[in-house]
């Protein structure tokens, strides 16, 4: 990337002051490596039943709404309790998340209490007066996009992972490998202005089939590649041709890495049928091959769906959270085995939280809401609670409705900015990643060292 391109990429961040950035945007030292792994929980995970207050008084407030009779209660005795770092009261994991419990107890997991999409710091009174409302709250696709873009007004065509990749591109020096990789299909999070993302399959390789060594086949392959460079005066032809060409050119590098059965991390992922674990294994293999790939900074995206639990929530979410916990535990163990636990930070995002009040159905569930709890895991994490748990009261101070839709205590912008700071983006440049961070006084939530 030349300087002009670099300035262009930063200008996409709207508020970035490009000239100051030259100073920090040097190639990273030789032994420096950091990776961010975004774990998206599609459908809107019910944080209320993922992280539950464990102490008697706070649990009592929880259980006064999510009563045993409601069909949406997690029993206090079943909670996997932990109290680390800055926490003054114990919290409890959903009992399905055994894998994460030990990591939390070891202080390598931070809970972000009630984080959500925000336009600016907002009070309940302001919300009720239609001030500072994110666009289309409670809508799946809009809120997914806002979490992934760190922008809550108007649509963004790029995500904050992509913006972060653009911003730190100079740290990767001359490496040409894509900074962002998705193992979960195309997604807004990794779309940037300057950086084309790589998307790899969750299992197996992406190999162009039908080509042996015969002259006819090789001539056909050459023709295929040449055809992809033609007709670029039509924008869709260009986009499609560029995409296929990129895939063909990267396949030779990536396929041997992601199909490696000899990798020492393979035995750590013994979670058959867990699609998130399968994806994280691919990420671990790519991290293992970081010297081959040659990047100092990498951003990964994985996902698991099915969290839209309008009905039958206890069983459905329990299964999903077990997958999440087991997969994250395997992945953490893999980073330890690779000696990069302190260099890799994983974090969850999701559409939104869910109503604290149960919703009707054969077995009840919950409806779309706003703020929710999220998890950050890694050797660089300062375990504890950041932000705060909401007051578990329908129509209470944190509820913008009567069904328990929490006004967030932290914004996605602050969440993204903290991760970007750890990645190496200076405070003055954070707006190139989270364009509205200037609206929030705390720009580093402190959950990473």
Which residues in 141-160 contact another protein (CB under 8 A)?
A: 141-142, 153-155, 157-158
Query: From the CB of 9, what's the least distance to another protein, in Å?
Result: 12
In angstroms, the CA 15 to CA 428 distance is 10
Q: Does residue 38 belong to the site contacting another protein (CB under 8 A)?
A: no
Q: Does residue 13 belong to the site contacting another protein (CB under 8 A)?
A: no
Strands 297-304 and 34-41: parallel
Query: From the CB of 112, what's the least distance to another protein, in Å?
Result: 24
Q: Does residue 60 belong to the site contacting another protein (CB under 8 A)?
A: no
Q: Does residue 62 belong to the site contacting another protein (CB under 8 A)?
A: no
Choices 67-75, 106-114, 116-124, 271-279; region in contact with another protein by CB under 8 A: 67-75
Count of residues that bind another protein according to CB under 8 A: 83
**Cβ distance to another protein smaller for residue 63 or 284:** 63
**Cβ distance to another protein smaller for residue 64 or 86:** 64
Q: Which two tokens stand for residue 157?
A: 């065509």
Q: Does residue 437 belong to the site contacting another protein (CB under 8 A)?
A: no
Q: Which residue has the tokens 């329990």?
A: 318
Q: Does residue 129 belong to the site contacting another protein (CB under 8 A)?
A: no
Q: Which two tokens stand for residue 406?
A: 């929490």
**Cβ distance to another protein smaller for residue 263 or 282:** 282
Q: Are 178 and 159 in contact (CB under 8 A)?
A: no
Q: Are 164 and 13 in contact (CB under 8 A)?
A: no
Q: Which residue has the tokens 């009563």?
A: 67
Cα–Cα distance list, 351 to 24, 86, 117, 127, 144 (Å): 33, 27, 9, 19, 4
Q: Does residue 77 belong to the site contacting another protein (CB under 8 A)?
A: no
Among 11, 18, 102, 136, binds another protein (CB under 8 A): 136
Among 77, 174, 261, 360, binds another protein (CB under 8 A): 360
Torsion (CA) 59, 63, 66, 68 in degrees, nearest 10: 130
Among 228, 283, 328, 417, binds another protein (CB under 8 A): 228
Among 28, 36, 51, 65, binds another protein (CB under 8 A): 65
Contact string (CB under 8 A) for another protein, positions 296-335, x = contact: ---------x--x-xx------------------------
H or E stretch covering 24 = helix 18-24
Among 106, 175, 247, 266, binds another protein (CB under 8 A): 247
Choices 33-41, 180-188, 266-274, 375-383; region in contact with another protein by CB under 8 A: 180-188
Q: Does residue 27 belong to the site contacting another protein (CB under 8 A)?
A: no
Among 45, 48, 143, 182, binds another protein (CB under 8 A): 182
Q: Are 417 and 156 in contact (CB under 8 A)?
A: no
Among 105, 132, 246, 259, binds another protein (CB under 8 A): 246
**Cβ distance to another protein smaller for residue 337 or 394:** 394
Selection from 353, 300, 344, 304 nearest residue 325 by Cα: 304
In angstroms, the CA 197 to CA 237 distance is 18
Q: Does residue 364 belong to the site contacting another protein (CB under 8 A)?
A: yes
Q: How many residues does the chain have?
A: 449
Characterize 118-132 residue by residue with b for buried, 16 or more Cβ atoms within 10 angstroms of its Cβ, and e for exposed.
Answer: bbeebeeeebeeeeb
Q: Are 80 and 90 in contact (CB under 8 A)?
A: no
Among 11, 120, 206, 393, binds another protein (CB under 8 A): 206
Q: What residues pair up with 345 in beta bridges, in sequence order?
A: 36
Q: Which two tokens stand for residue 195?
A: 């950086």
Q: Does residue 134 belong to the site contacting another protein (CB under 8 A)?
A: no
Residue 346 φ/ψ, nearest 5 degrees: -110, 145
Selection from 113, 110, 119, 117 nearest residue 351 by Cα: 117
Among 13, 43, 53, 371, binds another protein (CB under 8 A): 43
Choices 79-87, 135-143, 425-433, 439-447; region in contact with another protein by CB under 8 A: 135-143
Among 26, 70, 86, 123, binds another protein (CB under 8 A): 70
Selection from 337, 418, 319 nearest residue 374 by Cα: 418
In angstroms, the CA 130 to CA 241 distance is 45
């Amino acid at each position: 990337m030349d300087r002009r391109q670099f300035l262009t990429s930063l200008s996409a961040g709207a508020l970035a002051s490009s000239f100051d950035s030259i100073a920090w945007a040097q190639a990273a030292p030789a032994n420096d490596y950091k990776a961010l792994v975004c774990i998206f929980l599609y459908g809107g995970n019910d944080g209320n039943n993922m992280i539950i207050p464990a102490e008697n008084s706070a649990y009592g407030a929880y259980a006064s709404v999510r009563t045993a009779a409601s069909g949406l209660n997690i029993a206090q005795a079943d909670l996997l309790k932990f109290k680390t770092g800055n926490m003054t009261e114990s919290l409890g994991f959903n009992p399905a998340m055994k894998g994460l419990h030990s990591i939390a107890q070891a202080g390598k997991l931070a809970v972000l209490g009630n984080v959500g999409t925000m336009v600016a710091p907002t009070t309940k009174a302001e919300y009720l007066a239609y001030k500072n409302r994110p666009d289309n709250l409670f809508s799946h696709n809009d809120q997914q996009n806002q979490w992934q873009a760190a922008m809550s007004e108007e649509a963004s065509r790029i995500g904050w992972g992509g913006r972060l990749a653009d911003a730190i591109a100079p740290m990767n020096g001359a490496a040409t490998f894509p900074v962002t990789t998705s193992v979960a299909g195309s997604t807004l999070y990794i779309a940037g202005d300057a950086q084309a993302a790589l998307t790899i399959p969750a299992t197996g390789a992406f190999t162009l089939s039908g080509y042996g060594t015969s002259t006819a086949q090789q001539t056909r392959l050459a023709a295929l590649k040449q055809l992809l460079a033609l007709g670029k005066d039509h924008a869709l032809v260009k986009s499609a041709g560029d995409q296929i060409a990129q895939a063909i050119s990267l396949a030779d590098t990536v396929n041997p890495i992601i199909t490696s059965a000899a990798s020492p991390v393979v035995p750590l992922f013994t979670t058959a049928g867990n699609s998130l674990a399968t994806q994280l294994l691919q990420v671990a293999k790519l991290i293992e091959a970081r010297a081959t790939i040659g990047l100092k900074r990498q951003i990964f995206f994985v996902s698991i769906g099915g969290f839209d639990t309008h009905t039958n929530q206890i069983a459905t979410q329990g299964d999903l959270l077990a997958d999440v916990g087991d997969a994250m535990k395997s992945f953490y163990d893999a980073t330890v085995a690779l000696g990069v636990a302190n260099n890799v930070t994983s974090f969850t995002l999701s559409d939104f939280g869910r109503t604290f009040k149960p919703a009707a159905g054969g077995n009840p569930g919950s409806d779309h809401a706003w703020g929710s709890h999220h998890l950050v895991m890694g050797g660089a994490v300062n375990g504890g609670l950041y932000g705060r748990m909401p007051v578990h009261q329908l129509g209470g101070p944190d509820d913008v409705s009567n069904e328990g839709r929490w006004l967030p205590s932290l914004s996605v912008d602050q969440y993204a900015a903290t991760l970007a700071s750890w990645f190496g983006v200076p405070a003055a440049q954070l707006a190139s990643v989270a364009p509205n961070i200037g609206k929030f006084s705390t720009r580093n939530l402190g959950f990473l060292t």
